[in-house]
Amino acid sequence: SFVIFSALFLRKKLSGSSPIQFKPVIFFAPVSWVNPLGIYDRGTSLWLEGKGQPEVKGDQQDVEAQRSSSTLLSARVEEFNRKLRENPTDTQLWLDFIHFQVGLLTGNKMSLRAVLEKKLSIVDRAVESNPANVDLKLEKLHLCKELWEPATLQKEWKKLVFIHPNSAPLWRKYLLFTQSLFSTFSVSKVNSVFGKCLSTLSAVQDGSMVSHPPLPGTQEDLLDIFLQQCHFLRQAGHTEKAVCLFQALLDFTFFKPDSVKDLPTRQQVDFFEPFWDSGEPRVGERGARGWKAWMLQQERGGWVIPSEPDDDDEEEQDDSEIKDKTWPKWKIWLDVEASREANHWLPWRPDKTKGQSEEDCEDPDRQVLFDDIGPSMIRVDRPDLQLQLILSFLQFLGLPGPSGKFSTTSSSNILLDNLTFLEEGPDPERPLTSYDLPMAGICAVGHMTFLSDCRRQAGLCKAGEEFLQNVLQQTLQLISAQDQAAITLCWLQYEKLKVLRCLRSGNKRQLKSQGKRSKRLVKRLLKEPDNRSSLALWREYAHLEWLLGNLEEARKVFDTALGMGVTRGLNDPVLCNLCFLYAQLEVEQALNSGTVPTSKAVYILTKLAEGAAYTPFSGQINPVTILKARKAYEQALLSFLPEQSTGSNARAPKKLHRMSSLVGCFGLFQYLTMGIDAADAVYNQAIQKLISWNLNSEVTDGSLRRPKVFADWESVAVQHVSLLRHHANTSVFPLSRLRLALTDALSLLPSSASLWQLYLQTENRYHSAGRARRFFHSVAKKTDSVVPYLFAITAEQRLKQMLDSVQRSRLPREALPTLPNNGLSNRIRCLFENATATEHGAHCPLLWRMYLNFMVCDGNAERGSGIFYKALQAVPWVKGLYMDAVQLFPERVQEFLDLMTEKELRLRVPMEEVDILLED
């Protein structure tokens, strides 16, 4: 083309015609025989000629690039300095400047120490300009962790909390620092710091510490730190101390004598000590009367009638703790330790009616002294926090909490130590109702053993179940009727949870006996006058019967409950919840039995919208009533969902946290009568309104409303995705819509384990690992929760297991039916490294235990050993980590037991005792 163009140009020129007007052509490179069109750069032309570029040119380009980068960085530094000179009190600007130094100094290829020292000099300047700012001082301590000796660092921390004793966030970070500093860590030291923290904040709350006023939210922070202490002791194996802390605070809160109520907290504790040391029964024990009754009786001269001895209370001794003496010694130790962990977590107390004394206790650590719990006594005066205290104790003992979440508002990553919430996905036979009791990810007492423990029992030991029944019966008498209903509901959900665990285990004999016990208890509770009209309790009873396979009996219970309360209509969220579950169960039953008609579910939802007298389903539904029901649902939903303009309305949160069951009923009704598009529209409308309210609302009144709203939001999202997934499994449906609903929900609710389970099942089914990886990465960057990392790792591990099983199952000369898992182990290891390097993942026990287990099971025991010692630097208090190490490195069992003894973790069976048991 170039030659033709040139010939035409010359022909015109020579013919004498008017010259053609051309725009000038710019050649990017000189024309030569290897580059006739001038389109190649110099480097390509030289390569075609068989030559190379001079090295000097490359160096010059690098130098120019560095100069350009250096100029930009210098300009940014100049801008920071100018702004800080103009406004030296802008603490956020100081922090941004400190964090900017990482990129600045890394570009200059300086050492890590030089980077830290440079940042430290900036922090010092910032603190000089803002001497009262806590965040800047915390940043300084965080930087000095790599530069100072542990003793110096600890001294500076103590100085900081001494200067700011009323700052609960500062105390929380100091506690985490003390917990995770391996060189100085011991359980007794950390426990005493918890006591110091709670007693100091109590003095601030009382006004006893006149130098520092209490900050907003101090009472909530006090309870939160108290719960954190209980879980620290549980994870360290000292469950007896944790149980005693709860017992003491319940007595201190609900049974306080009137004569001491107006005294400062420390003086109240002084009066409480004689009661604690008196040997009187405490909360959860038989015959517990409480501190107030004991003090009143002491003024009258003591109890007249001593408690009668009970022959059945004798603790059963297991003569055969060792199941098989041929096992290796390390395996025997693990088995006996786990057995005692499950059975001996209750505090031991001498029974004076049997002539027992403190010397009769074979294990002194099972006794708890007042000095261990006294400093942690706090005042919990608000009714909502008192209910939270009771629910937290019940969840500590294994009861499911509200919406499966734990009551503590902070430190959620530190609490995660239970693998079941990653493993237990949706049940294929129950696609709509699998999320009724989601797992919280926190081990109950007696279940904190090694990671891959398949012997999980349905409930607590015999003494533990009796203790739990006593706690429930005693606490129900102390609170309002509304709070009693909440606790009774948790009680029935616990019975349902035990039945569910029996179902999953497949043990029919155990399921039958557990079902009988649970039904007996539920019927007894429903006979009580306050519970007879409680639709929430009737709902749990009906669901329990359904799970046990008694479908006709369950339908009778549902119909009886609807007959009592259906006239309340759509304005009653409890009634909506009951009808929603009933309709979902009928849809699932029709699916499992292979029948298509879902008229019964439509009838239930129609009668709910009518709000008229209920009669059981007879097989006919009037089409007009369906139209009327749809209109009623639309009006009810509009009244519950606030408009954007009313985002600041104080009544909005109260309405919002009651709407998930209404949205569920309307969505399912539309699905059954009009199809998936109509149901999808209902859920999308509800979710958009919830998002707009959350973005525009500034309602922060210190109550527990916001967590309830977020729980409701999660519930709506899970219902939506479950329905879409159910439809995709039974009909032709574009997968993109299901994916979009999942990704939108998880972007807003990244800590939802139920949504992540659904996401994993959806992506695993279609083997789209690349898309899932990108999504996991995008979500993990935007949240402080470690949950996205945990599920990302779980997804990769499941993929690796699938590929490994395929490769193992093929015949010797058979072609590989799938791609080899190149790099999967490295990818999983990188995910673990990235997760543990983050601030929110560094102190997550479950993450470290999974990392250790993966490395050893992947055949890299030497690196796994290094991971164990690295984990000890971050979570040295977690007993389960040491037990995992014994299982994975059995030849070093004595080394790990010595470490546990040195750090004062609870060791129930010393190795010397195992030797004695073997001799016997």
Taking only the tens place, the pLDDT of each residue in 435-477 is 887 777 888 888 766 676 645 567 888 999 999 999 999 999 8
Examine the domain organization and report whether 581 and 693 are in the same domain.
yes
Cβ(855)–Cβ(848) under 8 Å?
A: no
Last residue of a domain, one of 703, 733, 763: 733
pLDDT, position 22:
46
pLDDT range class, residue 315, cuts 50, 70, 90: very low
Note whether residue 507 is domain-resident: yes
User: End of a domain among 515, 536, 566?
Assistant: 566
Residues 548 and 589 in one domain: no
Determine the pLDDT at residue 519: 95
Give the pLDDT band of residue 47 (cuts 50, 70, 90): confident
753 pLDDT more than 50:
yes
Tens of pLDDT along 167-177?
999 999 999 99
State yes or no: pLDDT of 785 exceeds 80. yes
Same domain? 534 vs 618? no
Residue 547 sits in the same domain as residue 672: no
What are the tens digits of pLDDT across the range 619-653? 788 889 999 999 999 999 888 765 544 444 444 44
Share of the chain above pLDDT 90, in %: 51
* pLDDT tens-digit readout, 198-208: 999 999 999 88
DSSP 302: S
- The whole-number pLDDT of residue 786 equals 93
Instruction: Give first-to-last CA distance, the chain, whole Å.
Output: 101
- In which band, very low, low, confident or very high, does the pLDDT at 3 lie, cut at 50, 70 and 90? very low
Neighbours of 912 (CB within 10 A): 8
Taking residue 430's Cβ as centre, other Cβ atoms within 10 Å add up to 20
- Give the burial string for 25-34 (b: 16+ CB within 10 Å, else e): eeeeeeeeee
Q: Report the helix count and the strand count for the chain, using DSSP H and E.
A: 40, 0
The answer to whether residue 679 sits within a structural domain is: yes
Query: Do residues 542 and 626 both lie within one domain?
Result: no
Residue 684 pLDDT > 70, yes or no?
yes
Confidence check: pLDDT of 313 > 50:
no
Mean pLDDT of 365-386: 93
Q: Tell me what the mean pLDDT of segment 293-298 comes to.
A: 89
Strand, helix or coil at 775?
Answer: helix
pLDDT value at 62 more than 90: no
Answer yes or no: are the C-beta atoms of 150 and 181 closer than 8 Å: yes
Region 724-745: mean pLDDT is 92
Residue range 829-853: average pLDDT?
Answer: 94
Same structural domain, 561 and 678: no
Residue 721 domain flag: yes
In a domain, 717, yes or no: yes
Domain count along the chain: 2
Cβ neighbours of residue 141 closer than 8 Å, sequence gap 6 or more: 153, 156, 157, 160, 177
Averaged pLDDT for residues 897-909? 95
Per the DSSP assignment, residues forming a β-bridge with 32 are 35
Helix, strand, coil shares, percent, the chain, to 5? 65, 0, 30
Whether 410 has a pLDDT exceeding 80, the answer reads: no
CA distance 853 to 191: 29
Closest by Cα among 447, 431, 392 to 249? 392
Stretch 536-541: mean pLDDT, rounded? Answer: 95
The pLDDT, as a whole number, for residue 568 is 83
Q: Are residues 588 and 715 in the same domain?
A: yes
Write the pLDDT tens digit of every residue in 548-599. 999 999 999 999 999 988 888 888 999 999 999 999 999 999 888 876 667 8
Is residue 131 one of the residues assigned to a domain?
no
Residue the block writes with tokens 């999504």: 775
Q: Cα angle at 217 between 711 and 212, to 5 degrees?
A: 165
* Three-state SS at 409: coil
> What span, in angstroms and rounded, lies between the C-alpha atoms of 348 and 240?
8
The kind and range of the H/E element at 235 are: helix 218-235
What is the span of the domain harbouring residue 502? 481-566
Question: According to the model, what pLDDT value does residue 653 have?
Answer: 46
Pair 549, 582 in one domain? no
pLDDT at residue 811 in the model: 53
The answer as to whether 504 is a domain residue is yes
Angle (CA) 525-528-534 rounded to 5° is: 75
- For 81-148, the three-class secondary structure string (H helix, E strand, C coil) is HHHHHHCCCCHHHHHHHHHHHHHHHHHCCCCHHHHHHHHHHHHHHHHHHCCCCHHHHHHHHHHHCCCC
pLDDT in tens, 198-237: 999 999 999 888 889 999 999 999 999 999 999 999 999 9
Token output for 70: 């250096």
For residues 689-700, average pLDDT: 63
Q: Please indicate, yes or no, whether residues 547 and 670 belong to a single structural domain of this protein.
A: no
Q: Are residues 492 and 560 in the same domain?
A: yes
Shared domain check, 561 and 485: yes
Burial call 670-691: b when 16+ CB within 10 Å, e when fewer? bbbbeebebbbebbebbbebbe
**Is residue 663 domain-resident?**
yes
How far apart CA 283 and CA 389 sit, in angstroms, is: 13
Q: Which residue has better confidence, 815 or 670?
A: 670
Contact 861, 432 (CB under 8 A): no
Q: CB under 8 Å, gap of 24 or more: what pairs does 530-533 form?
A: 530/481, 530/484, 530/485, 531/485, 531/488, 533/564, 533/565
Determine contact, residues 236/900, Cβ cutoff 8 Å.
no
CB 507 within 8 A of CB 454: no
Q: Is the pLDDT reported for residue 657 higher than 90? A: no
- Structure confidence at residue 60 (pLDDT): 58
Which helix (H) or strand (E) element contains residue 743? helix 735-748
Give a yes or no: residue 648 inside a domain. no
Q: How much of the chain, in percent, has pLDDT values that exceed 70? A: 83
Q: What is the pLDDT of residue 865?
A: 95
Burial of 634 (0-12, 13-18, 19+ CB in 10 A): middle
> What's the pLDDT at 167?
92
> How many Cβ atoms are within 10 Å of 78's Cβ, its own excluded?
10
Based on the domain organization, do 623 and 530 belong to the same domain? no
Q: Which of 702, 733, 764 is the last residue of a domain?
A: 733
673 three-class SS: helix
Nearest CA-CA partner of 392 in 505, 209, 229, 535 = 229
Report angle CA 796, 743, 747 to the nearest 5 degrees: 100
